[in-house]
Amino acid sequence: MKLELQSRNALIAGGSRGIGRSIALAFAQAGANVSICARGETALRQTESELNALGHKVHAAVCDLADGAALWRWVDDAAMALGGIDVLVNNASGFGASDNEDGWAASINIDLLASVRASRAALPHLERSKGSILHISSIAGLMPSVRTPPYGAVKAALIQYTKTQASQLAGKHIRVNCIAPGSVEFPGGIWEKRRTDDPQLYKAVLDSIHFGRLGTPEDIAKVALFLASDAAAWVTGQTIAVDGGQMLS
């Protein structure tokens, strides 16, 4: 099966590093025009350069996704730069770990509300293209999340929203799906830091994964490419856990 996104226009919110970067690169390698946004300009421009090297249309913008007006501008500007929207990927996370006002606000404003707002902004374009939306949740939303209550609760809300949104938009032939990654390690990411800062926790998580390793951003990007492609044309309202068996423990 050949997965292609030839001449499709894809927006990846939180696309400068980690999972978002890998999804953006995988989409571009499959022939898509890509727009990414992120708060940090250095990583954004580096990923923009990598995308440009693949020879398709590229748009990149610094954007604080907690700012609704800024998010809406990014979607509108990206649609204009690329020539429409076929795929929207809501990947950004505020990583609200602490069970206090700041932790809850970070998760709600970025993980959940930014996904809702980006979907609304992109909807007129997706209606024209009969496109698709992909949310990036977490296995933390599928089970108790004692270490990170806000993160787990909001990721669970995103999984529920996927089903509701898929039902709302099915009549418009817009597909909505979700990926729930397990623990994913990449340079500068949380699990790379925990390898050195909290080796006991890192080992416990590693030991819980049946495949014997943490995930990579590329593991998630391959599933994202499938869900965005025509190979998944009859798949909607689904959440796929990509965790190497982590939840089987």
List residues with catalytic annotation. Answer: 151
- In Å, what is the CA distance from 13 to each residue of 4, 33, 71, 134, 226? 21, 14, 9, 11, 18
Residues in contact with 9: Cβ distance below 8 Å, sequence separation at least 6, in sequence order: 32, 33, 35, 57, 78, 79, 82, 83, 84, 85, 86, 87, 129
| Residues 218 and 184: beta-carbon distance below 8 Å | no
Could you tell me whether strands 33-38 and 132-136 are parallel, antiparallel, or unpaired per DSSP bridges?
unpaired
**In angstroms, how far apart are the furthest CA atoms of the chain?**
51
